[in-house]
Structure 1
Amino acid sequence: MTRFPRLRTLAAVAASCGLLVGCTTLPTNTEPQAIRSFEPQIEEGSNLGPQPGREPDLLLRDFYTANAHPSQDYQVARSFLARETSQQWDPHDSVLVVNRIDLVTAPGATSERRTFNVRGAVVGRIATGGAYEPENGVYEATIEMIRANGEWRIESLPSGVVLERTELRNQFQPQRLYFLDPSGQVLVSDRRWIYSGHQSLDSALITLLLEGPSPSLAPGVRQVVPRGATFAGVVDGAYHFTGFADVEPEDRLLFAAQLVWTLAVANIPEPYTVVVDGEPLAPGYETLSSDDVAEFNPRVNATAPVPLYALTDGRVSRVASNQVSPVEGALGQLGGLESVDISASGNVAVVRREGEESVLLTGMVDGELSEAVRARTISRPTFEFDRNNQWVVVDGDRIVRVVLSGPSGERSESEVDTSALESTAGEISVIRLSNSGARIAMIIEGRIHVGVVERTGPAERRIVNVRELAPQLGGTALSLDWQPDGSLLVGTSTPETPVWRVEQDGSAATSLPSGNITAPVVAVAATPSMLYLTDAQATLQLPTTGGDNVFWREVSGLQGQRAAPVTAD
């Protein structure tokens, strides 16, 4: 079924070779990059090169700062090197991100030669296309410097680029590309780091979009752009493409959704003129805007109300207008509940304790509930994008997918392939699927792990590309949930830093205000406008705007109660 009424008939496009345009992310190897046929417009400060008379240790630090400027094939960084070294240095071998650079002068220094031992804690690397990949390790290098014509220069250094994390944040901005889930129903974000000196952000984003998803996300999304497709640049404000001749009309529409929302979220002004082989993407329709693809909107409306529920003493209540009221239907009559998840469309999944067993019950929030799974222990449920489908952890080591299908409401269950977790020992205590269902966040033995959900068959799911985020939290994580912007809200048992924000790609973990939180934080939830948590004493909230407010307030209607907040999103 065609999804956009205004774009039902598409013009045919002829395949041809076109101009490749450039990108200023940080490449990690010498494979072909997005832009090769012209150099992007870059504004560089005049004081980025070596300062005359600079002492060798300070000049070396300036070199590492210059590593954050990749334009002209790292021309600024090369200016710190001796002439022959500049020609031999390969910055594309790898791009490591370290917490900080420490350097110490090695023995044997003279007035003409110095050797420095450089060390740093590796926190990540930048992959081809600007994707951040978290890592834990140590960077160690020996740098040799000589005095040439009265000025110190670097004579010997390893291949590759090393960035301090502060320079990554100062000189690069995280942007989002959007790809489609396998069903073609929802956009999935792919966070990339783009050089701030780039004068053509839209061209850089489009080039990366045509290159495809990052390797870690690729198994969880669908690629609708053909291999031969090319972004041919911007001419008179229009985005030109070639190579879509064999693309089905439906897939062209899906590509339009990817393109429009990638540009719109990056604040590239609308509307967008899209030309494919000299013709509009759709006959008679020369521009596209986010209104044309509104059903794919990846941004949650911050002003839209999100229903709030609370699980208190084993019962679910609705919290609204500063009051707590019983939930109608069978859900409101149930007691002994251990956990609950509720969707904006009214789907509900609850876990109830019955003697020595836990039971998963599913249904609608105002209707009847029926048994789906029974086991010794069952984790809090989490929904796929299709809210008729839920995942739970059974007995701490098996993830089970429950599917409601057919007009009769039949339920089936299957086990998710978790073989990627075999090297990660411990019990899985929490799982949360992202809104798109393409990612899963887990707490395993108090540590945060994130993976991608691959669809290996119509009813089969596999977790792949698992990586640990925020290792500095150690084994203290107790609760987590996805925030609308794709980051994670994490509650811990640490009194000094009980609640954290962790970025989707693991590039940063930030402790949130904790002025009046009493650890442990056993439950968290988030809406576009509010953060919620349950600590040792109460249920608290903090506006996402934050400001200078470091104190969380009790949720109106739940004062004096310790309840688990549940947002229906």
Structure 2
Amino acid sequence: MRMLALLGCGVVVLAGCGSMPVTGDVKAVDASQPGDSQVQVYAVAPREGAVPSEIVDGFLESMTSDDPAFATTRKYLSADARRTWQPGGGITVLAQAPNRSGPLLHDEADRATRDKATTYTLTGEKVAAVDAQSSYRPLAPTDYAQTLNLVQEKGPDGKQEWRIDTVPDGLVLGQSDFKRLYRSVNKYYFATGRTNGRSTLVADPVYVRNRVDPVTRMDTATQTVRTLLAGPTNWLRPVVDSRFPTGTALRKGVIALPSDDQNVLKVPLNHKADKASPGACRMMAAQVLFTLGDLTSARVERVELEGGKGAQLCALDADDAPEFSADNGSDEADSQYFINDKGQVERIPGATDGTGTPEPVTGPLGAGVVPMGAVGVARDERRAAAISSHGEHLYVSSLEAEASELADPLVSSEAKKAADRLSSPSWDGRGDLWVADRDPAGPRLLRLTGGVGEAQEVRVPGLDGARIEELRMSADGVRIALLLTKDGRTTLNIGRVERRGSSVSPEISVEDLRQAAPQLTDVTAISWSGRSRLVVVGKEEGGVQQVRYVQADGSTSASGSLPGVNQVQSVAAADDELLPLMAETVGDGIVKLSPGDNWQTVLKQGTSLVYPG
């Protein structure tokens, strides 16, 4: 494809560039088509005698380029601004490329000879921000405005040229350019404490450059390892640890981490890594192996960590990685569970991929001793928790013993209405059971250690008057997804589960709630899908119901939308993302969506369909 360079556009692009209007208020244009990650944009320097509007537009376009070290981009700045501007200071993401308002083109010729300074204002709708740690945070759409001051200064040839004198650190990008230039990756850290005697890895999503980073010159894999070594993001930091010794970094000059022909990846580290014990080093290798697992099409079969002098510190094979997995489930494929029209809990065997014949579960829940309305199955599939049909009682029962009698309820709600009683229960990877009592007279979030004994109330300081409608625990046990209702709207929020105190007297709280899908004003169903992703059912303001994937940090991708299905009431996804997505609908009953397929009806009747968790 022929490359084009357009005056005032500030870039050379492989996919063309918007033309520059010659009258009226000029606006910056997106340099790429949404989702086109292969478009490469090359910056060009400002032309001699460029008017202020060209300088502003050229600078904005140059920020969307693959300009090494942003060297060409800095040519739009004054000498002082070139020295102080920090492009790595974060990213402001706008719904569209920023609009530029200021003097009109036909005024600029006179202004250039009359004035020594001028200003332009960048405006738009801010929808997200990425901080200096590469952590993404979605925002409810808000107005964005930023003033750029321009001055005249002497160029190399002695002529006066317009340049931007004050500019905020970081980049300002429209959504389409952001998605083209950056990608979401998960880096991994260990949950504080131990889960069933195991050290469990937790996903910490961040955004890295999709190709070579202009500032560090690192490829995507190397950028990702660099962020891993820098430590967890501030939001996750209170509940996870890194096994890398403080100060560990890539060896100086490392900008690429290629695998060899045996898919072995060697990671050269500085001398700080030499302090790690053999056991800690193996856990460090697990962090790298999981972090790089989704980045390349070829599977990394082995990670080898090298110390400051080049000697191998330790290695970990991919076949040994499952011991660090967070699901703590059974060794077999997860089954699906639901409640039939008689209030009995039934199971669709996991080996059938959702197409098998349902069968009652073993024990009193399958016999229907007490009709149930909701169910949650432990991740090892040995026990289940169920809510009675009118929401007043929570029972826990074995799925292995043939007992015919149901034990006494562990939690009861005193609310007068069924809709104000107990939510559906959820199990985390630690084997703990969670449920919400929605009683207006005393709403509570409750946790039962190991799914037994007396329920402990969990503090949620960020509720601010909202009511918990539903909850889902992550497999790692350090994040909780909550549907919160306030002022007639139900939103999805992710909270951090902090554990303090002793094992005998633990203090549990859900901290720092964050909206994960602020564009959805009415969310009706959620389910975790994999290590750091959720399936969400909801509507935008004035829109229709949609089913889509949302990352735990609230970001979405072009591949996040799922085929439409009518009137979804609940949704269920497995920790294994290759298993089918299931949904309960009005009219079509229980349906499933396998990868690469369309929705198919599984059962005409059934409610509260769940995977273990």
**Which TM bucket (shorter chain)?**
0.7 to 0.9
Q: Which residue of 2 aligns with 1:348?
A: 383
* Alignment of 1:473 onto 2:520: yes
- 2:177 paired with 1:131: no
Residue identity matched to 1:273: E
Indicate the residue corresponding to 1:5 in structure 2.
Answer: none
Shift in alpha-carbon separation, 1:61–1:343, aligned structure 2, 3 A: farther
CA gap 1:231/1:160 in 2 versus in 1, 3 angstroms: closer
Q: Which residue of 1 aligns with 2:71?
A: 75
Inter-CA distance 523–61: structure 2 relative to 1 (3 Å threshold): farther
CA contact 2:326–2:476 (8 Å) conserved in 1: no
Q: Which runs of structure 2 are paired with 1:402-441 in the superposition (5 Å)?
A: 402-404=448-450, 411-421=453-463, 423=464, 425-441=465-481
Partner of 1:447: 491
SS in 1 for 2:246: coil
C-alpha distance in 1, partners of 2:84/2:308?
A: 41
Within the candidate set 228, 252, 255, 1:209 is matched to 228
Shift in Å at residue 176 of structure 1?
Answer: 1.5
Which stretch has the larger CA shift, 43-52 or 238-247? 43-52
The equivalent of 1:3 in structure 2 is: none
Partner of 1:48: 43
Q: What do the CA deviations read for 1:431-484 (whole angstroms, capped 9, x no partner)?
A: 11111111111000111100111111333322112111211111x111101111
- 1:263-293 Cα shifts (integer Å, max 9, x gaps): 33333744233223548666xxx64321233
Q: How does 1:4-23 map to 2 (within 5 A)?
A: none
Separation in 1, partners of 2:41, 2:539: 49
For the 8 Å contact 1:500–1:509, the answer to whether it is kept is: no
1:15 counterpart residue number: none
In structure 2, C-alpha distance between the alignment counterparts of 1:568 and 1:102, rounded to whole Å: 45
2:45–2:76 Cα contact (<8 Å) kept: yes
Structure 2 counterpart of 1:96, from 61, 77, 92:
92
Q: Gaps (5+ residues) in structure 1? A: 1-42
Instruction: Work out whether residues 201 and 326 of structure 2, in 8 Å CA contact, stay in contact via their aligned partners in 1.
Output: yes
Larger CA deviation: 325-334 vs 246-255: 246-255
Amino acid at match of 1:133: R
In the TM superposition, residue 319 of structure 1 has moved relative to its aligned partner by 2.4
Q: Contact conserved, 1:49 with 1:80, CA < 8 A, in 2?
A: no
Matches of 2:42 and 2:209, distance apart in 1: 18
CA 1:57–1:383: 2 relative to 1, 3 Å: farther
The aligned amino acid for 1:308 is: Q
Matches within 5 A, 1:150-189: 153-182=163-192, 183=194, 185-189=199-203
Corresponding position of 2:339: 311
Residues 1:442 and 1:67: Cα distance change in structure 2 (over 3 Å):
same
Q: 1:311 to 1:290 in 2, by over 3 A?
A: same
Q: How many residues align?
A: 506
Are 1:240 and 2:285 an aligned pair?
no
Query: Is the contact made by 1:539 and 1:565 (CA closer than 8 Å) also made in structure 2?
Result: no
Q: SS where residue 410 of structure 2 aligns?
A: strand
- Please report the RMSD computed on the Cα atoms of aligned residues, expressed in angstroms: 3.5
Q: Which residue of 2 aligns with 1:491?
A: 537
Supply the AA of the counterpart residue of 1:375.
S
1:17-36 matched pairs, under 5 angstroms: none
Q: Secondary structure at the match of 1:255?
A: helix
- For 1:543 and 1:354, the matched residues in 2 are separated by 28
- Code of the residue aligned with 2:412 in structure 1: it is R
Q: Please point out which of 486, 498, 501 is paired with 2:549.
A: 501
Match of 2:364 among 330, 334, 340: 330
Structure 2 residues without counterparts, runs of 5 or longer: 1-37, 113-117, 213-217, 259-265, 350-354, 415-420
Residue 120 (structure 1) aligns with: 124
What displacement does 1:156 show?
4.5
Q: Is the 8 A contact 2:97 2:175 kept in 1?
A: no
Separation of aligned partners in 2, 1:197 and 1:278: 29
How far 1:249 moved relative to its partner? Answer: 4.5
Q: 1:518 aligns with which of 551, 566, 579?
A: 566
Q: How does 1:550-569 map to 2 (within 5 A)?
A: 552-555=599-602, 558-559=603-604, 561-568=605-612
Alignment partner, residue 383 of structure 1 = 427
Q: Following the alignment from structure 2 to structure 1, what is the Cα–Cα distance between the partners of residues 423 and 466?
A: 15
Residue 274 (str. 1) matches residue 305 (str. 2): yes
1:106 matched residue in structure 2 = 102
**Matching residue of 1:360:** 394
1:66 is aligned to 2:114: no
Aligned residue for 2:586?
536
How much does 1:207 deviate?
Answer: 2.5
Distance 1:352 1:451, change over 3 A: closer
Assess, with a 3 A threshold, how the Cα gap between structure 1 residues 106 and 46 changes in structure 2: closer, same or farther.
closer
The Cα of 1:56 is off from its aligned counterpart by: 6.2
Structure 1 residue 243 displacement after superposition: 2.5
Deviations 1:506-540 (A, max 9, x none): 1227773454x333x22101132311112222334
CA distance in 1, matches of 2:40, 2:179: 17
CA change 1:264–1:102 in 2 (3 A) is closer
Q: Distance in 1 between matches of 2:220 and 2:325?
A: 21
In structure 2, distance between residues paired with 1:230 and 1:181: 21
Say whether the 8 Å CA contact 1:330–1:366 is kept in structure 2: no
Q: Cα distance, 1:180 vs. partner?
A: 0.5
Q: Which amino acid aligns with 2:42?
A: N
Residues 210 and 230 in structure 1, CA contact (< 8 A), matched pair in contact too? yes
Instruction: Report which structure shows greater RCO (CA 8 Å, sep ≥6).
Output: 1
**Aligned AA for 1:131?**
S
Structure 1 pair 535–498 and aligned structure 2 pair: CA distance change class (3 A) = farther
Distance across 1 between alignment mates of 2:493 and 2:344: 30
- Comparing 257-266 with 465-474, greater Cα deviation is found at 257-266
Identity of aligned residues (%): 22
Whether contact under 8 Å (2:492, 2:523) holds in the other structure is yes
For residue 6 of structure 1, what is the aligned residue in structure 2?
A: none
Query: Residues 392 and 299 of structure 1: is their aligned pair in 2 closer, same or farther, counting only changes over 3 Å?
Result: closer
Structure 2 CA distance for aligned equivalents of residues 128 and 50 of structure 1: 27
Q: Is the 8 A contact 2:138 2:516 kept in 1?
A: yes
Q: Secondary structure at the match of 2:281?
A: helix
**TM-aligned CA distance change 1:230 to 1:486, over 3 Å:** closer
Q: 1:47 to 1:170 in 2, by over 3 A?
A: same
Query: Counterparts of 2:51 and 2:376 in 1: how far apart (Å)?
Result: 61
Contact persistence 2:573–2:581 (CA under 8 A): yes
Letter in 2 for 1:138: D
Counterpart-to-counterpart distance in 2, 1:427 and 1:380: 14
Q: What TM-score, normalized by structure 1, do the two folds share? A: 0.79
Quick one: structure 1 residues 275 and 143, their matched pair in 2 at CA, closer, same or farther if it must change by over 3 Å? closer
CA distance in 2, matches of 1:103, 1:493: 28
Matched with 1:35 is: none
1:482–1:526 Cα contact (<8 Å) kept: yes
Residue 141 of structure 1 corresponds to which residue in structure 2? 146
